[in-house]
Structure 1
Amino acid sequence: MTTALEDLADRLRDFAAARDWEQFHTPKNLAMALAGEVGELLAELQWLTPEESARVMRDPEAAGRMRSELADVAVYLVRLADVLGVDLIEAAHAKLDEGERRYDADTYRGSARKAPPLQ
């Protein structure tokens, strides 16, 4: 059984192949494109107050822009992971496991402070 993320990676791979774009989909280029799209996502929130940003999805026009920018970020992230052979779900779970070891709930509840590096 494949996951939705694997299906998306397959579709992106086919999309790039049909256009002969694999030559451009180097890790460097994909990471740069991802950074650019993250910048566009940030631009949608840049001048909003924290309260306005929390309500951004209530405005249909702003919500459409947010969905579009989030999709661009997801597309480049999934494509980059695929090109590098990284299982994003596995990597995310490993990162969360690390976070659970570094930031025990009792010590860090309600705190934004950084934990010391793991030994």
Structure 2
Amino acid sequence: MTETVERLAARLRDFARERDWEQFHTPKNLAMALAGEVGELVAEFQWLTPGESASLDDETLARVRSELADVTNYLVRLADVLGVDVLAAANAKLDENGRRYDADLYRGSARKAPPLPP
């Protein structure tokens, strides 16, 4: 079965409810937990060279996979608690970035685009 964001959100909701953790799953707490997990993910790459980071050994890849799962779970849980469709938000942001970063103007460039006019 292909997992959907909605199904994952429901599983996470049930997981929290079964443990009476909903009281702790405030947006603030979930955002802080998400930031902590992102920090743990970043720590896996902290002292690697660019080349090493692109070809992880099996042990490191397993740890990275676990941290990515934690980040994903907290992100999906936060979005669910806030009533945000995370895929719709991501697609809207990608559309906005497509308007900000014209491929012909920004190809191969890391420079930041100015904000879009209101």
Normalising TM by the smaller chain, what interval?
over 0.9
Report the equivalent of 1:49: 49
Cα deviation 1:31-54 (Å, max 9, x = unaligned):
000000000000000000011001
Structure 2: which 5+ runs fail to align?
Answer: none
Report the equivalent of 1:61: 59
- Structure 1 position 63, deviation (Å): 1.0
Moved over 2 A (4+): none
Report the equivalent of 1:90: 88
May I ask how many residue pairs the two structures share in their alignment?
A: 116
CA distance in structure 2 between the aligned counterparts of 1:117 and 1:78, rounded to whole angstroms: 27
- Residue 70 (structure 2) pairs with residue 72 (structure 1): yes
CA distance in structure 1 between the aligned counterparts of 2:16 and 2:107, rounded to whole angstroms: 44
CA distance in structure 1 between the aligned counterparts of 2:112 and 2:58, rounded to whole angstroms: 36
Report the equivalent of 1:27: 27
TM-score (norm 1): 0.95
Structure 1: which 5+ runs fail to align?
Answer: none
TM-score (norm 2): 0.96
- Identity fraction in percent: 77
